[in-house]
Amino acid sequence: MATMTLRGINKIYPNGVQAVHDFNIEIKEGEFIVFVGPSGCGKSTTLRMIAGLEEISSGDLIIDDTRVNNLAPKDRDIAMVFQNYALYAHMSVYHNMAFSLTLRKEDSDMIHERVMWAANVLGLVPYLNRKPKELSGGQRQRVALGRAIVRDPKIFLLDEPLSNLDAKLRGSMRKELKQLHHRLHTTMIYVTHDQIEALTLADRIVVMKDGFIQQIATPEILYERPYNLFIANFIGTPPMNFFSSSLDDKGFLHIENLQVDISETPIFKTLKDKGYFGKSIIVGVRPEAISVEPFFKDNENKGFQTKVQLYELLGSDALIHFSINKKSVLAKVDARVKLAPDQDVSFHFDLNHLYYFDPETEVCIYA
């Protein structure tokens, strides 16, 4: 187990592309860290610099108390699991797992003990004599994990290890990985473009965009208090609805042709103090913060009226598509609310769960 610090790390490739800008984080012993962001944001480059597979252009990489920038990969005591498993096709599962220990000329009893331990942890005992091609995708991924854990490294690096698996298997491997981490309690750094994987696995998530860290936070905080519009849009499925709106001096938000009174909400004073009255502002509403119900003429509930465009049942939840003026909106409701296309409905925003973004900086404003 180890702590790791990345301090002011930059990566400029020989062709001049700066893939990583001023990356800073202190990772605690046993922490599960996930780097997440769209393709090309610099996640793999950062991971490869940690592994020693890519040179660090500037900054310090520290494991425990040692600066390791110039240490060869094999001397960093790090194990890496790749997306394509990189198993040896001609070797059995047993020998794939034993290989790195054999290479290190470890004692054969010790090797056997480690391989059997890993096979037990990963449920691979029945497959030890098989070749990789005789295994399912999930089993191969487990062998790749087994190969890493037999070495008992200080730190695990995992680069999109589940992206070659189908959705169902990904879900179950996610659970296994989480349990494995719980059991080993080894520091892990995991790279993915999938925000659901990030939310379900991480102790803390590093969100990246264009080589810059956007926010480092627990899954809960990232979801509840995204730092900016990018994160608000990236984290959460289905994504947040955004409206270009304006705020008048009486506390009414003008969203399309609607007027929403936010004068009773805690953020009202903050928006006033920060000078947003009379200004445009971007409003974010998560689909689950919109309630929708059948519209009745005599019903005194003062929701806004609209028509259902599309009703998608997801199991316990349902998605309702409708529009405000011409702007498409998505709400997520309990599936017990049964609605049909073209049905008249009324909807409400949960005013205590609206997000406000400065249109210029795109930073989220909080009370």
Q: Provide the binding-site residues for ligand ADP, judged by CB under 6 A.
A: 13, 15, 17, 19, 37, 39-45
> CB of 54: closest distance to ligand ADP in angstroms?
8
Q: What strands, in cross-sheet order, belong to the sheet with 252-255?
A: 258-261, 252-255, 241-247, 280-285, 354-357, 364-365
The alpha-carbon radius of gyration of the chain (Å, integer) is: 25
Q: How far is CA 33 from CA 80, 163, 165, 236, in A?
A: 14, 18, 21, 18
> CB of 156: closest distance to ligand ADP in angstroms?
17
> CB of 222: closest distance to ligand ADP in angstroms?
18
Nearer to ligand ADP by C-beta: 39 or 316?
Answer: 39
> CB of 80: closest distance to ligand ADP in angstroms?
14
For the record, the structure tokens of 110 come out as 């010790």
β pairing state of 290-294 and 344-349: antiparallel
Nearer to ligand ADP by C-beta: 40 or 238?
Answer: 40
Nearer to ligand ADP by C-beta: 2 or 19?
Answer: 19
> CB of 159: closest distance to ligand ADP in angstroms?
8
Q: Is the peptide bond before 226 cis (omega within 30 degrees of 0)?
A: no
Nearer to ligand ADP by C-beta: 42 or 226?
Answer: 42
> CB of 14: closest distance to ligand ADP in angstroms?
7
Residue 175 · residue 18 · CB < 8 Å: no
Nearer to ligand ADP by C-beta: 45 or 228?
Answer: 45
**CA 284/CA 363 separation, integer angstroms:** 12
Residue 48 · residue 78 · CB < 8 Å: no
Nearer to ligand ADP by C-beta: 16 or 278?
Answer: 16
